[in-house]
Amino acid sequence: MSEQTRRDLKMVGETTSAGGMFRNVRLVGESVMDGDVDCLKMGVTGELEVKGSLKAEELKATGECEIGGKLVAATVRGRGELKIGGSILSEHIKYTGNIQAGGDCEAGVLELEGAFAVAGLVSGEKVDVKLFGPCVAKEVGGASVKIKRSGASKLVNMFRPGNASLKAEQIEGDTLELEHTKASVVRGQRVTIGPGCEIGLVEYKDSLTVHKSSVVKESFKR
């Protein structure tokens, strides 16, 4: 379908659409799209359920967005809850809230303040996560990986200690800065293990720094 034949779609209130190809999509309220959606821009305020996959140049969502298939979007921005049945593929994700994915989450740049549960790999050239809740992934990888608690979570976790943390089987990258992380294996060139970590094995090439409150069971320089 050519770009000229795409049409805009605007839905307000409790609405349902069959899905399809669109130019700009604006959804306010509770929206359900019964099939795959392919659009240039999508703006969501409220609740959205896409029963297929979503492809967009830009997704901006505030509220709860649930996609049964995969999400492919150049940019993803917003706040709230993002539930993806399959994988996420994006150039830039900047999100505040909770992200869930049944597959991988791959982004050129991933900036998240909140929590995530990813069944597969979380990866990007730059992965910057400010922990506000529990984060789980099979693997985390990137050129630069920074995992720290957000300022807001420090107050919350006075009452729920240890809730804002990352758990992964393996973390790999060039420059790694990890806090409140539990991992079996960490591999990197420059590795900084900050407070609250429990790591089984660290392999590093250039440097390793370990905070006094953290546990690294085994480490060696490659």
Q: What is the pTM of this model?
A: 0.92
Q: Which residues pair with 89 in a beta bridge?
A: 72, 106
pLDDT at residue 153 tops 90: no
Asked if 57 and 41 count as a contact pair (C-beta separation under 8 A), the reply is yes
pLDDT of residue 150: 84
| pLDDT above 70: percentage of residues in the chain | 93
pLDDT value for 161: 45
Burial class (CB in 10 A: 0-12, 13-18, 19+), 218: exposed
Q: Within 10 Å of residue 137's Cβ, how many Cβ atoms? A: 24
The encoded tokens of residue 79 equal 């706040």
> What's the one-letter identity of residue 172?
E
Tokens 């929590």 identify what position? 115
Torsion of CA 196, 188, 121, 161, to 10 degrees: 0
CA dihedral 158, 161, 165, 170 (to 10 degrees): 150
The predicted model gives 120-134 an average pLDDT of 96
Q: Residue 80 and residue 47: Cα distance in Å, rounded?
A: 10
Least confident of 45-54, 78-87, 143-152: 143-152
pLDDT tens, residue by residue, 171-190: 999 999 999 999 999 999 99
Q: Which residues pair with 109 in a beta bridge?
A: 92, 126
User: In the predicted model, what is the mean pLDDT of residues 118-143?
Assistant: 96
Model pLDDT, residue 158: 41
9-44 pLDDT tens trace = 999 999 999 989 999 999 999 999 999 999 999 999
Rounded-to-integer distance, Cα 176 and Cα 144, Å: 6
- Is 211's pLDDT higher than 80? yes
Is the separation of the CB atoms in 101 and 84 below 8 Å?
A: yes
